[in-house]
Structure 1
Amino acid sequence: MPGCFKKTLFALASAISFASFILIVVAMGTPKWMTGKILCKTGAELVNATDPELVKFIGEIYYGLFRGGKIRQCGLGGRRSKFSVFPHMVKKLNTGLHVMIIMFLCVAISFSLVSFGFCILNAIKVPYRAIKGPAGICLWNFLAGGFIALAVTGFMAAVKLHRLTERIANFRENVFQFVILEEQFEDCFWICVASATAHAVNLLLIPISCINFPKIKTKTEEANVTAEDIMY
């Protein structure tokens, strides 16, 4: 039973690592990390818009790591547009930080796959006690979760400290100026947080596999040897 229990834990850890890999890939390819409402400040000031009229100047914006879109409301109806972060927009952003976020997620993808592979190896073979064993799996999960946490923290810093949404909203806007009324993190951002949490769960599962449970032994009956048995 202990062997089956350990194999079950390694199989579960491998499934979690693969799920984390899928979550990161989906999050990176989806253009909805952040959504918000933008006010066309220039248009509202031109007509001295009051509170009821400001609705005509409030648009929407959404974006991810590679692309996004917005709806401009400048008093003449909504105008939809889409944009790509690379290659032009990234020059107006904090280029180093944005590229580091993407690199951190790519490294996390690699470590998630490494963790998945070694979990499978330990599930079908005798676990090694070196870097390939439970300690190694914990290391890969710690690195994967750590890089995801760095990417999430970097994105939050770009949004809150470097005004990422405002920079994107005003990209190539020569006439109108937009201000951010509200912004919120969307599902793709929280998917990355869930991916890091999945690796944290693995860090709890793998040490359990190292526990040596006592084996259940059946008590053998003592044989009664008599003198007649010795003679024959």
Structure 2
Amino acid sequence: MPSQQKKIIFCMAGVLSFACALGVVTALGTPLWIKATVLCKTGALLVNASRQELDKFMGEMQYGLFHGEGVRQCGLGARPFRFSFFPDLLKVIPVSIHVNVILFSAIFIVLTMVGAAFFMYNAFGKPFETLHGPLGLYLLSFISVALWLPATRYQAQGSCGCLVMILFASEVKIHHLSEKIANYKEGTYVYKTQSEKYAISIWVIFICFFVHFLNVLLIRLAGFQFPFAKSKDSETTNVAADLMY
């Protein structure tokens, strides 16, 4: 492939990686990870509310990794509230999981930025053969998505983007994060989660996760072999060299 086309492909991959880094940074600071509706179970049981009357006891909330807001309703009108995870909710949330979500999000941003720099360096600079060359781009992309590389000594231990989604989903679903937030400092009423859905920020992480797969395909499209794929020519050369000696 001509060098000009390779530059264009590497520039595209670099722009995609940089856009992903900006997207994850934005997602990290916004309270748009989860949107949930909560039912005031205590109030609904006291008045024996029917299905039509449950709307008066239905509240909602949205939150991210650092803060959130919502509205509680228990038949007496809406009560808006705001909260932050640090330091307000440290006693009720699984702190280790929550901190790991933030940590892996930060690592994901750093890896994506480094990958973008490598792509731009390969497009406009004179890359070295190992770290800065195609092997370095493959390595960064594979680490970012945590692909297991068979038949090589490189084995990614975990995907930052994938771990962020898995850990956050376990925190929300297994540890009932929305209920813990809704029942924080509520001594009289008990709230139960009715519905939860992932908001835009978690889908940004999901898209950025798959962009790294796209980057791997772009590297291959530029004409570089996968690091674990050995060409037949090299194998023939090795065999000939062995026969000579």
Query: TM-score, structure 1 length as denominator?
Result: 0.87
Matches within 5 A, 1:82-93: 82-93=82-93
**Residue pair 2:36, 2:60 contacting (<8 A) in 1 also:** yes
Show the counterpart of 2:124.
124
Matches within 5 A, 1:90-169: 90-145=90-145, 146-169=159-182
The one-letter code of the counterpart of 1:200 is F
Show the counterpart of 2:213.
200
Shift of 1:211: 4.2
> Would you say 1:190 and 2:203 are equivalent positions?
yes
Shift of 1:152: 0.7
The one-letter code of the counterpart of 2:93 is L
The one-letter code of the counterpart of 2:166 is T
1:32-66, Cα deviation, whole Å (9 max, x unpaired) = 11111110011112222222211110111111101
Show the counterpart of 1:229.
none
- Give the secondary-structure state (helix, strand or coil) at the position aligned to 1:103: helix
> Would you say 1:8 and 2:8 are equivalent positions?
yes
Q: Distance in 2 between matches of 1:192 and 1:211?
A: 28
Shift of 1:126: 2.7
- Give the secondary-structure state (helix, strand or coil) at the position aligned to 2:115: helix
> Would you say 1:46 and 2:59 are equivalent positions?
no
- Alignment RMSD: 1.4
Q: Distance in 1 between matches of 2:82 and 2:138?
A: 42
* Unmatched 5+ stretches in structure 1: 213-232
The one-letter code of the counterpart of 2:171 is A
Q: Which runs of 4+ in 1 moved over 3 A?
A: none
Shift of 1:3: 0.6
Show the counterpart of 1:79.
79
Shift of 1:141: 2.1
Show the counterpart of 1:216.
none
- Give the secondary-structure state (helix, strand or coil) at the position aligned to 1:90: coil
Q: Distance in 2 between matches of 1:91 and 1:107?
A: 26
Show the counterpart of 2:229.
none
Matches within 5 A, 1:214-225: none
**Residue pair 2:134, 2:224 contacting (<8 A) in 1 also:** no
Q: Distance in 1 between matches of 2:13 and 2:57?
A: 50
Show the counterpart of 1:228.
none
- Give the secondary-structure state (helix, strand or coil) at the position aligned to 1:205: helix
**Residue pair 1:44, 1:54 contacting (<8 A) in 2 also:** yes
Show the counterpart of 1:22.
22
The one-letter code of the counterpart of 2:185 is R
Shift of 1:200: 1.4
Aligned residues: 212
- Give the secondary-structure state (helix, strand or coil) at the position aligned to 2:90: helix
Q: Percent identity?
A: 38
1:106-165, Cα deviation, whole Å (9 max, x unpaired) = 001111111111111111123322011111112112223320111011111111111111
- Give the secondary-structure state (helix, strand or coil) at the position aligned to 1:91: coil
